[in-house]
A and B are shown apart, each in its own frame.
Chain A
Amino acid sequence: MRGGVASPAPGSSPTGIAPSAPRSRTARSRRRRGGGWAPYGFLLPGFVVYAVFLLYPLGRAVQISLYDWDGLSLATFVGLANYADVVTDPALRDAFAHALVLIFFFSVLPLGIGLVLAALLTRARVRGMAFFRTVVFLPQVIAMVVVAVAWRQIYAPDGQLNTALRAVGLDALTRTWLGDYTLTLPAVGFIGTWVSTGLVTVLLMAGMARIPGELYEAATLDGAGPVRTFLSITVPSVRAEVVVALTLTIIAALKTFDLIYVTTSGGPGTSTTVPSYEVYRRAFELGEVGSAAAVAVVLTALIFLINVGVNRIGERER
C-alpha cells in the first residue's frame, strides 16, 4: 500500500467517490457521448499491470495460505490450519499484541500531542509557521531505514540518549535501549511517535484553520476558558481529520517492517516482532510460506476492517 491513503472502502461511502446518485439526464448523456470502447482502451495498460502484479498475487496469497509449503517441495493442503495458528501460536499472538502496542505509539500518542499542538498553533498566528510545518513534516519524507539508523545511534549504549541522561545526573536511567526485554518495544514505538506526530499535527492544523473564528468568539463570550473551547469546539470540529489521522497512523503501525528489520530484527528474543516481520521471517528465513501467507492475509483483512470501520464512523457524522 503506497502512502497508506485513507480511501473509502468499497461500498462504504457513496458520497464523493462514487458517481453522485441523482444526475440529470443531460449530464449523463453528455458523459456517455463519444465513449464507446475508448475508456476501456485508456484503462487497459494500467489495469493489466495492476491485475498481474497486485490482484493476482493477492489471490495467490489466499491460496498459498491454505497450504503447508516450504517454498521448495510439494505443498500439502491444510485448510485453515495456518489461520488457526495465528490465534493459537504464542509467537504469532505476541506479534499481533506488539502491533497493538505500536498503534499506541504511532497513533494514539501523536494524536494527543497533535491535537494540543495544532490547537495552540492555529490560534496563535505566530511567525515562522511555514518553517515549523516544513520541519515537523520532514520525518515523513526520510526513508524509514535512515530513520532507523539514526535512532539506533541515539539509543546505543554510548549514544546521545544515555549521554544526555548522564549529563543531567540520571545515570540510573541509562540502559541498552534496544537490548532490554521490556523497554525495547516502547523505544521502537517512540520512533513511530517521532515520525507520525508531524503528519498528524499538520493534518489537524489544516482542519482547524477551517473552523470559523465566530465560534471561538461566541464561546469566549459565554465564558468558556481555553480548555473548554478546545474540548467543545476544536476537537469536535476536526473529527473528520482525526478519523483520517487515525487510519493513516494505525495502518503505518500495523505494517512497520523496515523499522523493526533495521533496529531490532524482532529481538531481543521475540520481544519486538510484529506481523509484517513475521511474514518476512516465516516466508524467507524459516521456510514456512503457507504460514507467512496466512499472517499476511490476516494483516490485510485487519487493514480493510480498519478502513471500513473508520469510514463508517466518518460517514455517520455527515
Chain B
Amino acid sequence: MRVSPVERAWNYAILIVFALIALAPVVTILQRALAPETPADAEAGGPLHWENFARAWEQGRFSEYMGNSLQVAVVVVVLATLFSIMAGYAFGAFEFRGSRALFYVFLLGIMVPTEAIVVPLFFDLRAVGLTNTIWAIALPQVAQSVAFGTFWMRSYFRGANRSIIEAARLDGAGHSRVLWQVLVPVARPAVVTLVLLTFMWTWNEFLIPLVMSPNAQLRTAPLGLALFQGQYVQGTTLLAAGAVLVALPMVILYLFLQRHFIQGMLEGAVKD
C-alpha cells in the first residue's frame, strides 16, 4: 500500500512521541539514580554517580532481598514448569474419564485473583507454622502458575505431531520417555516462554510476599523497595537506585528475549 511522504512523516512523529512517553519515566528514574546524593558527592565525582547503586544495595539490604526473590523464583519456576508440562501432557495427549471437567477446574485458577486466596491462605498457613518461610510465598504462586502453565502446555501438546508419539510408542518408549525425550525437546520454545512468563510474574509479585511474611523476615525485592521508600522519604536518589536494581534483572532479560515475552503474552491472551 502506498503512503504519502506527509503521512510517513506523521507516522514517524507519532512513533517518536509515544516511544518518548513510554521511556520518560524509565529515563527519569535512571537520571535520579545517577544524580549526586549529597552536595559533597556532587563536588567529588563526575556527572554520573554509580556509587549510589552500591549504597542503595547496602542500605536497602537489596542483596538479601534479591537473594530471597531469586530463591522464590527458582522454586516457583522449577516446580510450576515441571508440573505444568506433566499436566499439559495428560490433557493434551490423552482422553480420560473426567478430563474435560478436570481441565475446567484448572482453567478456573487462571481467573482467580490473588486477592481471593491470600486472606485464607495467610490464616491457614500461620496455623501450620508456614508463614515467614519461602514455602508460604512460593507454593501459592506455584499453584497459580500451574493453572496457566497447564493451559499453555496442553494447547502445545495438542498441536504436537501425533505420528511422532505413535512412532515412539511403537518403538517401546514408555509415557515418561515419550514426554521428556520426544515431546519436550520439540516443545522447547513453548517451555522457554512459559519459564520466562512465570519468572516475570514471580519476580514482580507483591501481594503474596507482603502478606505471607508478616514480621518482615523474608522480604522479596519489590517488597524491599516499598519498605525502602517508607524509610527514605527525603533521599530520592537512593530510592531511585533501588528501583533500578529491582527492575534491572527483568528489563535485561526482556531486552534479550523480548520476542518470547511479547509472543507469550499475546498468544496466552488470544489463544482460543
Q: A residues engaging B (CB < 8 A)? A: 1-3, 5-11, 13, 15-19, 28, 30-32, 34-35, 38-40, 42-43, 45-47, 49-50, 52-55, 57-58, 60-61, 63-64, 71, 117, 120-121, 123-126, 128, 131-147, 149-154, 156, 160, 194, 197-199, 202-203, 206, 213, 216-217, 240-241, 244, 248, 251, 254-255, 257-258, 261-262, 275-276, 279-280, 283-284, 289, 292-293, 296-297, 299-300, 303-304, 307
| Docked-complex contact B3 and A154, CB < 8 angstroms | no
Q: A19-B95, A46-B87, A284-B211 are in contact. Are A13 and B222 (CB under 8 A)?
A: no
Could you mark each residue 239-266 of chain B with 1 if its beta carbon is under 8 Å from any beta carbon of chain A, else 0?
1101110110011011100100110011
Q: Which of A49, A202, A217, A280 contacts B146 (CB 8 A)?
A: A49
| Docked-complex contact B246 and A145, CB < 8 angstroms | yes
| Docked-complex contact A248 and B269, CB < 8 angstroms | yes
| Docked-complex contact B119 and A202, CB < 8 angstroms | no
| Docked-complex contact B197 and A3, CB < 8 angstroms | yes
Q: A32-B94, A45-B83, A255-B114 are in contact. Are A289 and B262 (CB under 8 A)?
A: no
| Docked-complex contact A296 and B116, CB < 8 angstroms | yes
Q: How far is it, in angstroms, between the C-alpha of A30 and the C-alpha of B106 when the chains are bound?
A: 25
Closest 3 CB pairs of A and B: A46-B83, A60-B120, A53-B143
Number of A-B contacts (CB under 8 A): 339
Q: Which of A7, A151, A279 contacts B25 (CB 8 A)?
A: A151
Q: Which of A2, A32, A43, A117 contacts B14 (CB 8 A)?
A: A117
| Docked-complex contact A2 and B145, CB < 8 angstroms | yes
Q: How far is it, in angstroms, between the C-alpha of A150 and the C-alpha of B110 when the chains are bound?
A: 29
Interface centre among A42, A71, A147, A257 (most CB of B within 10 A): A42
- Give A247's nearest chain B residue, CB to CB: B269
Q: How far is it, in angstroms, between the C-alpha of A149 and the C-alpha of B203 when the chains are bound?
A: 17
Q: How far is the CB of A26 from chain B (nearest CB, A)?
A: 11
B52 within 8 A of A: no
Q: How far is it, in angstroms, between the C-alpha of A129 and the C-alpha of B108 when the chains are bound?
A: 37
| Docked-complex contact B121 and A143, CB < 8 angstroms | no
B188 within 8 A of A: no
B133 within 8 A of A: no
Q: How far is it, in angstroms, between the C-alpha of A46 and the C-alpha of B78 when the chains are bound?
A: 12
- Give B95's nearest chain A residue, CB to CB: A31
What residues of B have a CB within 8 angstroms of the CB of A280 in the complex? 115, 207, 210-211
Interface positions, chain B 100-156, Cβ under 8 Å from A, are: 100, 102-124, 139-148, 150-151
5 pairs of residues in contact across A and B, judged by CB atoms under 8 Å: A2-B198, A2-B201, A39-B91, A145-B206, A153-B32
Interface residue range, chain B: 35 or more
Q: B residues engaging A (CB < 8 A)? A: 1, 3, 7-8, 10-12, 14-15, 18-19, 21-23, 25-26, 28-29, 32, 79, 82-84, 86-87, 89-91, 93-96, 99-100, 102-124, 139-148, 150-151, 162, 166, 169, 175, 179, 197-198, 200-201, 203-204, 206-207, 210-211, 214, 221-223, 225-226, 229, 236, 239-240, 242-244, 246-247, 250-251, 253-255, 258, 261-262, 265-266, 268-272
What residues of B have a CB within 8 angstroms of the CB of A52 in the complex? 139, 143
Q: Which of A61, A131, A140, A261 contacts B226 (CB 8 A)?
A: A261
- Give A64's nearest chain B residue, CB to CB: B120
What residues of B have a CB within 8 angstroms of the CB of A304 in the complex? 111
- Give B247's nearest chain A residue, CB to CB: A146
| Docked-complex contact A32 and B95, CB < 8 angstroms | yes
What residues of B have a CB within 8 angstroms of the CB of A241 in the complex? 270
Q: A123-B3, A255-B113 are in contact. Are A203 and B270 (CB under 8 A)?
A: yes
| Docked-complex contact B272 and A8, CB < 8 angstroms | yes
Q: Which of A11, A64, A203 contacts B104 (CB 8 A)?
A: A11
| Docked-complex contact A8 and B111, CB < 8 angstroms | no
Instruction: Give me 20 other A-B pairs in contact (C-beta within 8 A), A146-B247, A280-B115 excluded.
Output: A2-B141, A7-B110, A35-B94, A45-B83, A47-B106, A49-B139, A54-B147, A117-B18, A125-B1, A137-B261, A140-B265, A143-B247, A145-B223, A150-B240, A152-B229, A154-B25, A156-B236, A160-B28, A241-B270, A300-B111
Q: A8-B107, A141-B261 are in contact. Are A293 and B251 (CB under 8 A)?
A: no
Q: How far is it, in angstroms, between the C-alpha of A222 and the C-alpha of B89 when the chains are bound?
A: 51
| Docked-complex contact B21 and A194, CB < 8 angstroms | yes
What residues of A have a CB within 8 angstroms of the CB of B179 in the complex? 42
Q: How far is the CB of A4 from chain B (nearest CB, A)?
A: 8
Q: How far is it, in angstroms, between the C-alpha of A164 and the C-alpha of B39 when the chains are bound?
A: 24
Q: A146-B247, A289-B119 are in contact. Are A30 and B266 (CB under 8 A)?
A: no
Q: How far is the CB of B80 from chain A (nearest CB, A)?
A: 8
Q: A57-B121, A141-B254, A213-B1 are in contact. Are A39 and B90 (CB under 8 A)?
A: yes
| Docked-complex contact B119 and A138, CB < 8 angstroms | no
Q: How far is the CB of A76 from chain B (nearest CB, A)?
A: 16
Q: A10-B108, A19-B100, A137-B258 are in contact. Are A244 and B270 (CB under 8 A)?
A: yes
Q: How far is it, in angstroms, between the C-alpha of A123 and the C-alpha of B8 when the chains are bound?
A: 10
What residues of A have a CB within 8 angstroms of the CB of B207 in the complex? 257-258, 276, 280
| Docked-complex contact A58 and B112, CB < 8 angstroms | yes
| Docked-complex contact A60 and B1, CB < 8 angstroms | no
| Docked-complex contact B119 and A150, CB < 8 angstroms | no
